[in-house]
Amino acid sequence: MTTGWHPEEDTTPSPAPRDVEFMAAVLEGRHGWLAADVAEFFSTYHSQHGDTGRSWAWAGVAELVRQRSVQRIEQAEAL
């Protein structure tokens, strides 16, 4: 086992599911139907700047926002 600092490794922890849900709710409240695109922008930005952990987190937020959107559409169609 090798110990020591490895600068090439991503040490950003994955966000807790409740944090992803909170981030999605805030984006939906502030940006409405553009929320998924805003989260995707942040994901791409962090990816291009080498921050894989944050990129994955924002990608998860974008996915959750899209899932919620589909659920709302399905609920509206069921009425």
Per-residue pLDDT reduced to its tens digit, 40-59 = 999 999 999 999 989 999 99
| pTM, to two decimals | 0.80
pLDDT of residue 27: 97
Nearest in space to 28 (alpha carbons), one of 78, 67, 65: 65
How many whole angstroms separate alpha carbon 33 and alpha carbon 66?
Answer: 9
Domain ranges, ordered by start, for the chain:
21-78
Give CA torsion, residues 57, 62, 63, 67, to 10 deg. 140
